[in-house]
Copies of this chain bind each other. A is one copy, B any other.
Amino acid sequence: MHAKTTESPVRLAAETWESLFRAQVAVMRRLQAAPAFKALALNEYDVLFTLSRCPSGWLRLNELNDNVLLSQSSLSRLVERLEKRGFVERTPAPEDGRGILIRLTDAGRELQKQIGREHVRDIAALVGPALSAAEQQELLRLTEKLRAAVAAR
């Protein structure tokens, strides 16, 4: 019997996670080196990107926090910096006096688009040659399934 099929479920899960994590590190290291991220840290871009994908245009701070690997306080200050630089606006949430709503300004939307175009090209240049289209679709499916399962708990 093949080794992979006899190893314990716990070990398989650990190896799978480690492989996913190392792949993320390897790709991210390349992406971060792009000239576009001289102007804006990757976490900052990520916030602009998430806002750009939001149908209503407005997001709560804690909704943003689900997408980014940052503590609540760090995200709070990151958004504060983006506001000072004129890339996002903040407004008290109408239905909840504790909350704030955030959206892109025109300048923020423009910057996101500009960096986004280059970023997408960089991603394609790294991922495209590495995996076939079918493999990419399968990787997309598996990671989305994993994310959904983890978020649901």
Interface residues of A (CB under 8 A from B): 4, 9-17, 19-30, 67-69, 120-121, 123-124, 126-131, 133, 135-140, 142-147, 149-151, 153
Contact = CB atoms under 8 A, between A and B. Distances in A.
B150 A142 contact: no
Contact of A147 (B11, B23, B123, B144): B23
- Copies of this chain present: 2
Which 8 pairs from chain A and chain B are nearest by CB? A130-B149, A23-B147, A23-B143, A13-B127, A13-B124, A10-B124, A19-B143, A16-B136
A20 B24 contact: yes
A64 to B, nearest CB: 12
Nearest to A30: B150
